[in-house]
Chain A
């Protein structure tokens, strides 16, 4: 096929592709121009171009801030625990949904499970306070009514972690099943029939057919999640966290918000952002490499 006829035939494809490309250039690559703020003494009124270069001074300052290390540690800790607790949840849920035979019950369950995903974290925060507060929370009111001591779900570090993780699972597990369910629709039903003929139990079928068939999806999502180890959403720790558990709830994103947007130290905030991006890149490349070695599946 000549180049001309190739282009003639496929130009629509490229036109379609150009839309996401434009998006990426404007919103993902364009802002990278601002990365240089990390190396400049950023003056609001001189703009990025007019500010003076200061080399790595800002990096030194950030790496000398104890708060930075606390929030870095918390970011890793919360993300790691999330990975342990929240990552398997949608897999288990998806398999359970897949095993449901009644179509209408499956549909209803799915819908119910998706709903929390569409609730904003601010609202979830409100619900969490109403449920788990010491004096005002519903659960503790019941406990006290039964003559038990209230559990400080929100104001002590240990119980707070559980609350944080639990709300995360509650909010995202249902939505997370979508990808797995999609992968499962591709499984050849004949495999199950054959297994049944061979006398496989339900657990055996799950173990030898269902799980292997979503393995690539699991690995891909795991890699993506590992790549995000150093980046953490802003809403959840900010909303669920509070002063009493600041030692655990202060993460890089809330740290950046505080020094960058609230106190206007853009240079320091950019340094942290850049640091996050670099570490994130290392993580994603590293986990991709390991996964390729171990399972033959990767994303790059």
Chain B
């Protein structure tokens, strides 16, 4: 009760308390800042500080996939030391890597960009709308002149075509990486199931339907309710391949590049109708709507429950990967890579999607004071043998040179293999092993896989390169993409799931309703803008 009786005292004490708190929180704010700085500073430190006054620090983003093998860390490893030794020290630069979790790359990048002072000098993203947004908000350095002055090797390596992806209104606002391999998806079928039923490998979409029916009715795997004639997931590798085999590309072998722009194509409805039929007849994974990361699908494939499926071209071939596991789990099983899905709306060609020839967008924030050093770093990476050294390690220990192609040694020691755990993430200017033309790149790529799987991977790549349709490059941001992109890509998933799972007699109504929704959520604006941009090309 004394407290109540002394209201005045309380108020005063509270006042004191409050001001003390405010003061402390200000202090806390400062100290936390200071901490932040020291933390990031200590992240690098791969080399001792040089005596020279001009020694500067270059901060470079690096994807952290949480897979650093001991004794390495994501910021201090074989490759980071190599960069420091070969590029940093001669140029009086401390190269410091700023790890960003792979899975929350964009969110973390947004935070870094907003911080202005903590942002690395080199950042990157795969998402073109993120790049355009930063560029439009004035957050990026125009690197055109810098490239001319400090990046001759880099320019030569990337070429004008690739560089064009990074331009906005004629200004070079980012440096796109170069993609070594543009093939994306391949389909696979269980040869042992076909053999058991005496069926040939289907060669058209219609034949596939008949084959799937047979898989379902005759159950060659003897699986009962676990039998999945066609593996499906709510993931691009599965639904995109299916949709591409029905849509009419907008412009020859080019079409709208964003996934959520698929519903704007003629033939999209046919694709949904086909999926609806497959679903209702129990021919595709019944739980595909829950499987956005393909976990269930790979599990089903590995357990031998799936007869036909499509996947990213390389996905199943890794050591101890899907294919290895399937062969181990189901003795006698055999998989064939097959080009099956024909597109009746496009001359029965095996239409499928391919990547644009660029990789990620490499950007230098406007607030960076090390733009010159950043370009020098990228130029260094593109010059001499550096890219191969980053990708392939040490000749004789990690790889042998066969016909000018670095072929990964089959019996490479773990210690040496560990050097390259983050090679793909270090070589930001090159997505995949860029050694020469596409065929050479593919060879080099294949050589990194277990020998037993190389032959089929080669077939896979050939299939993935057949009748491909690439993205149209507008060379300017489509406003509606940055505005409605997330909403619409979410809506695309809903369209696929809803129309697939509707009863066949309700398909029309559901499809109409969902498409009306899609258009009203921004699809209309997107369509208009895309069509206008198409005319300006």
A residues contacting B by CB (< 8 A) are: 1, 3, 6-7, 14, 17-18, 21-22, 25-26, 30, 43-47, 66-67, 129, 133-137, 141, 144-145, 150, 154-155, 242-244, 246, 258-259, 261-264
Among B20-65, those with CB < 8 Å from A are 20-22, 24-25, 28-29
Q: Decide yes or no: A44 and B134 within 8 Å by CB, A136-B287, A141-B225, A263-B486 being known contacts.
A: yes
By a CB distance below 8 angstroms, the chain B residues around A264 are 106, 110, 130, 133
Q: Is residue B520 within 8 Å, beta carbon to beta carbon, of the partner chain?
A: yes
Residue pair B21, A18 in contact (C-beta under 8 Å): yes
The smallest beta-carbon distance between A252 and chain B, in angstroms, is 15
Residue pair A3, B107 in contact (C-beta under 8 Å): no
By a CB distance below 8 angstroms, the chain A residues around B371 are none
The smallest beta-carbon distance between B188 and chain A, in angstroms, is 20
Q: Decide yes or no: A25 and B25 within 8 Å by CB, A44-B139, A135-B287, A261-B110 being known contacts.
A: yes
Residue pair A26, B9 in contact (C-beta under 8 Å): no
By a CB distance below 8 angstroms, the chain B residues around A44 are 110, 113-114, 134, 137, 139
Q: Decide yes or no: A259 and B289 within 8 Å by CB, A6-B2, A246-B494 being known contacts.
A: no
By a CB distance below 8 angstroms, the chain B residues around A21 are 17-18, 21
Q: Decide yes or no: A1 and B6 within 8 Å by CB, A25-B21, A25-B22, A135-B285 being known contacts.
A: yes
Q: Decide yes or no: A262 and B106 within 8 Å by CB, A22-B21, A22-B24 being known contacts.
A: yes
The smallest beta-carbon distance between A37 and chain B, in angstroms, is 11
Among B488-537, those with CB < 8 Å from A are 490, 493-494, 496-498, 501, 520-521
Residue pair A243, B2 in contact (C-beta under 8 Å): no
For B, the interface residue count at a CB cutoff of 8 angstroms equals 55
Residue pair B501, A155 in contact (C-beta under 8 Å): yes
B residues contacting A by CB (< 8 A) are: 2, 6, 8-9, 12-13, 17-18, 20-22, 24-25, 28-29, 106-107, 110, 113-114, 116, 129-130, 133-134, 137-139, 225-226, 228, 234, 285-287, 289-290, 292, 296, 300, 366-367, 482, 485-487, 490, 493-494, 496-498, 501, 520-521
By a CB distance below 8 angstroms, the chain A residues around B292 are 242-243
Residue pair A244, B486 in contact (C-beta under 8 Å): no
Complex Cα distance A17/B21, Å? 11
By a CB distance below 8 angstroms, the chain A residues around B18 are 21
Residue pair A66, B25 in contact (C-beta under 8 Å): no
In the complex, the chain A residue whose C-beta lies closest to that of B366 is: A45
Residue pair B290, A155 in contact (C-beta under 8 Å): yes
Given A129-B290, A264-B106, 16 more A-B residue pairs with CB atoms under 8 Å apart are A1-B2, A7-B9, A14-B17, A26-B29, A45-B134, A133-B296, A135-B228, A136-B287, A155-B501, A243-B292, A244-B290, A244-B498, A261-B107, A262-B486, A264-B110, A264-B133
Contact for A3 among B9, B225, B285, B296, CB less than 8 A? B9
Complex Cα distance A43/B290, Å? 36
Contact for A258 among B8, B285, B487, B498, CB less than 8 A? B487
By a CB distance below 8 angstroms, the chain A residues around B8 are 3
Complex Cα distance A26/B28, Å? 9
The smallest beta-carbon distance between A29 and chain B, in angstroms, is 9
Residue pair A7, B13 in contact (C-beta under 8 Å): yes
Contact for B289 among A3, A14, A17, A155, CB less than 8 A? A155
Residue pair B485, A45 in contact (C-beta under 8 Å): no
Residue pair A67, B290 in contact (C-beta under 8 Å): no
By a CB distance below 8 angstroms, the chain B residues around A1 are 2, 6
Residue pair A244, B490 in contact (C-beta under 8 Å): no
Task: Report, nearest first, the 8 A-B pairs whose CB atoms are least far apart.
Answer: A263-B486, A45-B139, A135-B286, A244-B289, A243-B493, A243-B497, A134-B286, A244-B497
By a CB distance below 8 angstroms, the chain B residues around A263 are 129, 482, 485-487
In the complex, the chain A residue whose C-beta lies closest to that of B500 is: A244
Complex Cα distance A44/B139, Å? 8
By a CB distance below 8 angstroms, the chain A residues around B228 are 135
Contact for B25 among A26, A45, A242, A259, CB less than 8 A? A26
In the complex, the chain B residue whose C-beta lies closest to that of A4 is: B9
The smallest beta-carbon distance between A149 and chain B, in angstroms, is 12
In the complex, the chain B residue whose C-beta lies closest to that of A21 is: B21
The smallest beta-carbon distance between B497 and chain A, in angstroms, is 5
Residue pair B114, A47 in contact (C-beta under 8 Å): yes
9 contacts between A and B (CB under 8 A): A21-B21, A26-B28, A45-B114, A45-B367, A133-B296, A135-B285, A145-B225, A258-B490, A262-B486
Complex Cα distance A137/B20, Å? 57
Complex Cα distance A25/B490, Å? 37
The smallest beta-carbon distance between A42 and chain B, in angstroms, is 9
Q: Decide yes or no: A45 and B113 within 8 Å by CB, A1-B2, A133-B290, A246-B494 being known contacts.
A: yes
Complex Cα distance A21/B290, Å? 44
In the complex, the chain B residue whose C-beta lies closest to that of A135 is: B286
Q: Decide yes or no: A45 and B137 within 8 Å by CB, A21-B17, A133-B287 being known contacts.
A: yes
Complex Cα distance A259/B486, Å? 7
Complex Cα distance A3/B338, Å? 88
By a CB distance below 8 angstroms, the chain B residues around A136 are 287, 296, 300
By a CB distance below 8 angstroms, the chain B residues around A17 are 17
In the complex, the chain A residue whose C-beta lies closest to that of B5 is: A1
Residue pair B287, A134 in contact (C-beta under 8 Å): yes
Complex Cα distance A278/B134, Å? 32
Residue pair A67, B24 in contact (C-beta under 8 Å): no
By a CB distance below 8 angstroms, the chain B residues around A244 are 289-290, 497-498, 501
Complex Cα distance A44/B112, Å? 10
Q: Decide yes or no: A14 and B13 within 8 Å by CB, A135-B286, A243-B494, A261-B107 being known contacts.
A: yes
